[in-house]
Every structure is written in C-alpha cells, then in structure tokens.
C-alpha cells in the first residue's frame, strides 16, 4: 500500500484528488493507454474508443534527456484515471488522536476558520496491486521510465543522444529522478466517453506558447538569449520600440523596424555561417555565449547602423519614435522599399554574409553595390515583378522565395562572370537560378543586370 498526501476537490461533476507521488511509485502504479489496453482492444474500439495519442519518439529524444540533464527540471501535473477499487481517501476530519486517555478528533484542534476544509485534506491510499492509466502526460511519464529504467532499445537511443555531446555521464543521473515529487491529479470518471472528453478538453483549451514568447522567455536556448540581450541592452537598436514583438509582417504604416522573429532568424543564420551550432534546449557556457554574441552584434551593427544607407537613416533619425521614417522608407516608391520588408532583410543579411566569406569583394565594395541598387517596386514593370513581388505588390509566398532573393542579390552584386564562379562552389548553380528566374517571370534569356538608382 502506498499512501500520499491528497486534497479532494470537485470541478463540475468530476471528483479529483491533487496529490504528490515520487516518480518511482507513480511509474509502478500507472501505465500509458497503449500498455494498459491491448492493441486488439484499442483496434476493436475504433476511432470512438481512442483515449490518447500514440507515444512518439519525442519522449526519448527530447524529454528524457531534459530530465537527466537538468537539476532544475520541472513538469506539469500528470492526470491519471482514478480506479476507486484501487484507492481510498482518508480525510483529516475522521482522524483521531489520544490525549490524556481520551480520544480527540484532529478536526477539533484545527483553527475554527479552517475546520470546514478538514474533510477535503487527507491521504490517498493506493493498493500495490493493479495499475491505473494516464489520461494526460503519458509522454512525460514515458520519459521518466526511459530515464530511470530504459529498455535496451531506449538505452541505445539515449546513449547515442548523449554521445553526440560527450554527455554519456548523464546516464548516471537516473537515480536522482526516482525521488522527484511529481504532482498528480487522480480524476474519477464514469466511462471512456468521459475520459475522451477530459483528454480533448485539456489539450484543446490549453494555449501553446507562441514563437515570440519562446524567444522572449527562453532560458536554455543560446540563440534566443542573444536576441533577448540585443533587445534589452540596446546592443543594436537604441530602444526596444523598433522591434515588432509578435508576428512577421510589417504593415505599410507600422512604426516598427524589424519583427523579433526576423531578428532571431538573422542571428541564427550568422551563427550557422560561422559554424556555430548549439542544441536549442541547452544553454551554452557564459563565455561561449558572450563570444558568439559579440560576433552577432558586430555584424548587425555593420548591417543596420553603419553601411546600408536606408537602415542607417531610419535608425539614426533625430525624430522621435512616434515620428520615425519607417513608413516612408517602406513605401514602394522609396529606393530602399524592398529591403525594408522582413523577408528581404533576411535574404540581404545572408547574401552579405556569404559575399564577405566566399567572394573576392571587400566589405565596402559589397555595401556600395547594395546601396546603388534601386529597391523600389512602384513601377508597372519593376525588376522584382514575378521573381519576388506579385502583381498586387506583395512578397510571393513559399519557402524558396527567401533563397531566390538571396541568390539574386549575390548575382547582382558580383555580376554575371563572377557570379558564375561563385555559384560553382555553392549549393545552387547559376544555371538553376536562371531557370528559376525564367519560370517565375515568364521571360526568356539571361537574368538582366540590376537597375541602379
């Protein structure tokens, strides 16, 4: 028999007990749906009988390593079906203690204004035989099981994950997990229909954290920490109001300069092209983070504050933020209009990084060529029509657009002859770019020279 502290409660017509159990006992007394019911039983019941999602590999590749790696680990409550034949609740209201040969109720010794709650506080006694199945949190519990007592297959997978980072010693942390006090909600449900309702209610009504919130709050992602520091410490922009906190689209009249997500993408690209690769759930050391942050900040200031004339003029404008010139520079008639849009900003940043690393041009030559390009697109037959901009004046959709614009910028900066040599040692050939341009624009021949201001 296992006894755990419990608080009894009701939500609607559902009885539940909020408890804490150590991981070892919880694993011993619960099972995922896939193990509790045979596959034949699950298949027999069809779609209407399903109670859970199938376990996927994430519990082994992400959650179990997280548990073993982090002392400051934490997981939300596990929701377990309450089998009333396996459990019994004893409230403080019914407890007695002998004092001076007389029996006294514990409830009577509790402060008067707390006394009515004594019936809801007590202990849940759970038999050592049988098991109950998990209604929500089966991936978390599968991860605890795999971390503490892995099958041969799970052990091989975990060792492989840790070998890649020379962290195989973390497998020794399994014993630390067994005493973790996990929050458990035992819920009494009438039947499988109620169980399905609870599962869908929990997972449908819970709002997942947005990408913007992840960037702003992450404490284990090195790329996100750099972005947080750039914004909070004004390392590139002189105030945070320049940053669009959510979304990736800037409206024509928006006073924001760059979306947070776009800034993050550029930071990640700087790191990638400098052969910096971090696990996104493991914070690098302080010294490594500072070193890489210096590289990122240096390039971002070079791009936004020093060398691209349009960016420099907007960000160094003496006007107040509420009177800034972002909308006028974003106007299609402006000669910097296209690269004031978020996606072209990313393409431009990557093109400059690649040109600096792989071409024979020096940095001032690269920026001079970019500043000379006419980035406006208000004319009926402008140079970006079809290849980048739709006839309605919007950036085309599709993940290939960003790469196409990056390659076109490289082509325009280098010219046809140098571009041909550049692309020979690159992931895309000039021939591929030309074919793509022809298909997008419906034109024949070679990519024309870029129009200048």
The β-bridge partners of 51 are none
Query: 345 is written with which tokens?
Result: 């900003």
The β-bridge partners of 385 are 389
Query: 428 is written with which tokens?
Result: 């895309």
- Residue 450 within a domain: no
The residue ranking higher by pLDDT, 35 or 379, is 379
C-beta separation of 360 from 403 below 8 A: no
**Mean of the per-residue pLDDT values for the chain?**
87
271 and 400 in a single domain? The answer is yes
Q: Which of 146, 346, 380 is nearest to 260 (CA)?
A: 346
User: Where does a domain end: 206, 229, 244?
Assistant: 206
Q: Could you tell me the pLDDT band of residue 46, with boundaries at 50, 70 and 90?
A: very low
Q: Above 70 in pLDDT, residue 80?
A: yes
* Per-residue pLDDT tens digits for 120-137: 898 999 888 777 888 888
Positive or negative torsion for Cα 148, 152, 158, 163: positive
Q: Could you tell me the pLDDT band of residue 54, with boundaries at 50, 70 and 90?
A: low
Q: Could you tell me the pLDDT band of residue 319, with boundaries at 50, 70 and 90?
A: low
- Residue 331 within a domain: yes
The β-bridge partners of 452 are 373
Q: Above 70 in pLDDT, residue 256?
A: yes
259 and 199 in a single domain? The answer is no
pLDDT at 50: 42
Sequence-separated (6 or more) residues with CB below 8 Å from residue 185: 16, 17, 18, 19, 77, 78, 79, 80
Look up tokens 């410490």; give the residue.
Answer: 233
Look up tokens 């300069």; give the residue.
Answer: 257
C-beta separation of 171 from 159 below 8 A: yes
Q: Above 90 in pLDDT, residue 441?
A: yes
Mean pLDDT of 296-313: 97
pLDDT at 44: 42
Q: Which of 270, 68, 76, 35 is nearest to 161 (CA)?
A: 68
User: Where does a domain end: 206, 223, 243?
Assistant: 206
User: Where does a domain end: 206, 237, 261?
Assistant: 206
Backbone angles phi, psi at 336, to 5 degrees: -115, 10
Q: Could you tell me the pLDDT band of residue 33, with boundaries at 50, 70 and 90?
A: low
- Residue 446 within a domain: no
54 and 154 in a single domain? The answer is yes
- Residue 291 within a domain: yes
Burial (0-12, 13-18, 19+ Cβ within 10 Å), 28:
middle
The β-bridge partners of 11 are 14
Domain of residue 307 covers 212-441
Q: Which of 363, 360, 382, 361 is nearest to 373 (CA)?
A: 382
pTM passes above 0.85: no
324 and 291 in a single domain? The answer is yes
Sequence-separated (6 or more) residues with CB below 8 Å from residue 216: 224, 228, 245, 260
Give 294-299's long-range contacts (Cβ < 8 A, gap of 24+): 295/270, 295/271, 296/226, 296/230, 296/267, 296/270, 296/271, 297/230, 297/235, 297/236, 299/270, 299/349, 299/353
182 and 276 in a single domain? The answer is no
Q: Above 50 in pLDDT, residue 49?
A: no
34 and 134 in a single domain? The answer is yes
Backbone angles phi, psi at 412, to 5 degrees: -65, -35
152 and 227 in a single domain? The answer is no
Cα(319)–Cα(327) distance, rounded to whole angstroms? 13
Burial (0-12, 13-18, 19+ Cβ within 10 Å), 86:
middle
C-beta separation of 22 from 182 below 8 A: yes
Cα(315)–Cα(305) distance, rounded to whole angstroms? 7
Q: Could you give the residue ranges of the DSSP H alpha helices within 83-205?
A: 138-148, 152-163, 174-177, 192-205
Mean pLDDT of 411-417: 95
- Residue 435 within a domain: yes
The β-bridge partners of 21 are 182
Cα(133)–Cα(31) distance, rounded to whole angstroms? 5
Q: Above 90 in pLDDT, residue 202?
A: no
Cα(229)–Cα(356) distance, rounded to whole angstroms? 25
Q: How many domains does the chain have?
A: 2
pLDDT at 188: 83
Among the residue ranges 51-55, 70-74, 205-209, 429-433, the one predicted with the least confidence is 51-55
Cα(53)–Cα(24) distance, rounded to whole angstroms? 24
- Helix then strand then coil, in percent of the chain rounded to 5, is 50, 15, 35
pLDDT at 417: 92
165 and 230 in a single domain? The answer is no
R_g (Cα) of the chain, nearest Å: 30
């Amino acid at each position: 028999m296992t006894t755990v502290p419990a608080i009894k409660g009701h939500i609607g017509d559902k009885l539940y007990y909020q408890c804490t159990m150590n991981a070892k006992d919880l694993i011993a007394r619960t099972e995922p749906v896939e193990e509790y019911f045979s596959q034949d039983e699950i298949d027999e019941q069809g779609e209407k009988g399903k109670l859970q999602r199938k376990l996927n590999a994430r519990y082994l590749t992400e959650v179990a390593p997280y548990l073993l790696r982090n002392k400051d680990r934490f997981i939300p409550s596990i929701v377990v079906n309450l089998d009333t034949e396996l459990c019994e609740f004893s409230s403080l209201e019914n407890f007695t203690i002998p004092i001076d040969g007389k029996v006294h109720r514990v409830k009577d010794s509790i402060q008067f204004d707390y006394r009515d709650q004594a019936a809801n506080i007590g202990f849940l006694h759970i038999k050592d035989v049988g098991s109950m199945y998990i209604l929500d949190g089966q991936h978390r519990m599968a991860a605890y099981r795999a971390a503490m007592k892995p099958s041969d297959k799970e052990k091989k997978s975990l060792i492989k994950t840790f070998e890649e980072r020379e962290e195989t010693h973390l497998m020794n942390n399994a014993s630390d997990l067994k005493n973790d006090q996990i929050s458990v909600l035992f819920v009494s449900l009438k039947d499988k229909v109620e169980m399905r309702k609870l599962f869908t209610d929990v997972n449908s009504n819970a709002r997942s954290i947005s990408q913007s919130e992840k960037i702003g709050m992450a404490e284990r992602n090195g790329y996100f920490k750099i972005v947080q520091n750039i914004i909070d410490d004004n390392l590139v922009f002189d105030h945070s109001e320049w940053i669009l906190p959510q979304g990736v689209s800037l409206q024509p009249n928006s006073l924001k300069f760059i979306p947070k997500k776009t800034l993050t993408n550029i930071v990640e690209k700087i790191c990638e092209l400098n052969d910096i690769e971090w696990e996104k759930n493991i914070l690098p050391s302080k010294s490594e983070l500072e070193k890489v942050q210096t590289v990122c900040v240096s390039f971002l200031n070079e791009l936004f504050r020093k060398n691209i004339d349009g960016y420099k003029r907007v960000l160094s404008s003496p006007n107040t933020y509420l009177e800034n010139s972002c909308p006028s520079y974003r106007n299609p008639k402006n000669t910097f209009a296209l690269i004031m849009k978020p996606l072209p900003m990313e393409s431009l940043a990557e093109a400059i990084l690649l040109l600096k690393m792989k071409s024979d041009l020096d940095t001032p030559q690269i920026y001079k060529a970019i500043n000379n390009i006419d980035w406006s697109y208000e004319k009926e037959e402008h140079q970006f029509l079809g290849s980048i901009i739709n006839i309605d004046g919007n950036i085309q959709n599709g993940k290939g657009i960003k790469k196409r614009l990056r390659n076109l910028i490289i082509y325009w900066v280098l010219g046809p002859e140098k571009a041909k040599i550049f692309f020979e040692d690159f992931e895309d050939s000039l021939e591929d770019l030309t074919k793509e341009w022809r298909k997008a624009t419906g034109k024949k021949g070679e990519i024309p020279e870029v129009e200048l201001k």
